[in-house]
Amino acid sequence: MKAGHFAKSIRLENVRKSYGSQIVLDDLNLHVEPGEFVSMLGPSGSGKTTVLNLVAGFDDPDAGSVLLDGGNMTGIAPEHRNIGVVFQNYSLFPHMSVAENIEFPLRMRGVSKAERREAVGKALSLVALDGFGDRKPEQLSGGQQQRVAIARAVVFNPDVLLMDEPLGALDRRLRGDLQLEIKTLHEELGVTIIYVTHDQEEALSMSDRVVVFNKGRVEQEGKPREVYRRPATLFVADFLGDSLSISAMASGDSVTLRELNTEVASSGHGLQGPVRLLWRSDQVSLAGANDPGDRILTMPATVETVAYAGTITRMRVKTSTGDIGVIEAAEDSEFAAGDAIVLALDLDKASLLPADEDNR
Ligand code: ADP
């Protein structure tokens, strides 16, 4: 991460926001470093767009503050915040050409004609649309229109760039291309980016840090690998991908798998009572002929469904303890529903989570 010249930090402190009787953000605290690319990931309705609206100034918090480089933004109109915004639906001005669309924020800021022309030219090449300036938005594909919207959002060197599901309307292939382009643009400009998505792959692959939202609260935040490999809750584990987890009891420093009558030494977890031991689907292997060793738990299971997924095969399995999860097998494996298998679970790779069934 390289913070650009204009990049600024964003801080939300004890922010509350309700619509009517519905609490949308509940005492939210969030910090984004200058030049950082942070994704807000979470199910629909968890409050992500509301955060963007508060940062952009389209709405005000009921309590708490939004700070830009330490300065309180309360009462400052959106057009005076020097923040670029990209929405899912492009929202280009249909009657204006591509160049006029990109030029618009510069006009609003009273930038001279010569400077505008130069900045628009640079922005067009930044999004690989040189030569498209005279077209109307309707003459462009969805992906090209979104590139124009991105150029318009960065042409005035914003302190922060907010992106709300910017690739949500595009097909999968195009989304992949634009993900890489946005990542490159972030590296080139060094601008602070807050990116909203409900697509976990997008959040994991693009960001410096991922903030997982659940019901208006931050459920977990961290580097993509941390939240993926070390989810703090079952909600995060489920939201970020497939896994297998089994129930256990924590007491003192040990975790006991009751059904298996096995005790697992596991110090420093600080949990008591019902817990779950969780493995990502790629961390579960099938037991082989070799002695598995004392840190590998072998567990019989039944294959319930098999789904071929190109590079791998995904299998839903039910363990002898009655737990259900998804594991990965080789692309060419020939398992079928009903097959009996034996899983090899590496205790050193397990995440230990509170059982917390209500929050799944
Ligand atoms: P997300 O972006 O995570 O999908 P939002 O922040 O858009 O979530 O919405 C969170 C909740 O706030 C939703 O239940 C939504 O219906 C409600 N909400 C958002 N904006 C408004 C509004 N202007 N008026 C009333 N309710 C709203």
Q: How would residue 360 be classed by pLDDT, with cut points 50, 70 and 90?
A: very low
Same domain, 34 and 104: yes
d(CA 99, CA 132): 8
Per-residue confidence (pLDDT) for residue 357, from 0 to 100: 58
Q: What angle do CA 319, 322, 324 make, to 5 degrees?
A: 65
d(CA 242, CA 282): 9
- Structural domain includes residue 3: no
Q: What is the mean pLDDT of residues 274-283?
A: 94
Query: Mutate which of 12, 16, 17, 19 to test ligand 1's pocket (most atoms within 8 Å of Cβ)?
Result: 19
Q: At 142, phi and psi to the nearest 5?
A: -60, -45
The residue out of 163, 194, 229 marking a domain boundary is 229
Same domain, 173 and 249: no
Domain membership of residue 95 as a residue range: 10-229
- Mean pLDDT of the residues in the chain: 92
Same domain, 261 and 216: no
- Structural domain includes residue 1: no
Q: At 110, phi and psi to the nearest 5?
A: 70, 30
24 Cβ below 6 A of ligand 1? yes
- Give the tens place of pLDDT for each residue, 42-75: 999 999 999 999 999 999 999 999 999 999 998 8
Strand 324-330 and strand 285-286: the pairing is unpaired
Q: What is the mean pLDDT of residues 227-249?
A: 94
Which of 130, 126, 79 lies closest to 105 in space, CA to CA? 79
Question: Which residue, judged by its Cα, is nearest atom 24 of ligand 1?
Answer: 19
Q: Looking at ligand 1, which atom is closest to the CA of residue 44?
A: 4
Question: Which residue, judged by its Cα, is nearest atom 20 of ligand 1?
Answer: 50
The tally of domains found in the chain comes to 2
- Structural domain includes residue 236: no
Share of the chain above pLDDT 70, in %: 96
Q: Looking at ligand 1, which atom is closest to the CA of residue 20?
A: 25
Centre of ligand 1 from the C-alpha of residue 51, in Å: 10
Centre of ligand 1 from the C-alpha of residue 15, in Å: 15
Same domain, 144 and 202: yes
The residue out of 179, 201, 229 marking a domain boundary is 229
Judged on CB neighbours under 10 Å (0-12, 13-18, 19+), 160 is: buried
Q: What is the mean pLDDT of residues 141-153?
A: 95
- Structural domain includes residue 235: no
- Structural domain includes residue 5: no
Residue 205 amino acid letter = S
Return the number of other C-beta atoms located less than 10 Å from residue 323's C-beta: 17
198 Cβ below 6 A of ligand 1? no
42 Cβ below 6 A of ligand 1? yes
Per-residue confidence (pLDDT) for residue 192, from 0 to 100: 97
Centre of ligand 1 from the C-alpha of residue 214, in Å: 13
Provide the CATH number for the domain around residue 274.
2.40.50.140
DSSP string, 138-196: GGS-HHHHHHHHHHHHHTT--SEEEEESTTTTS-HHHHHHHHHHHHHHHHHH--EEEEE
50 Cβ below 6 A of ligand 1? yes
319 Cβ below 6 A of ligand 1? no
Per-residue confidence (pLDDT) for residue 264, from 0 to 100: 77
- Structural domain includes residue 76: yes
Neighbouring-strand partners of residue 243: 280
The residue out of 203, 229, 255 marking a domain boundary is 229
pTM of the full predicted structure? 0.91
Same domain, 204 and 279: no
Same domain, 83 and 201: yes
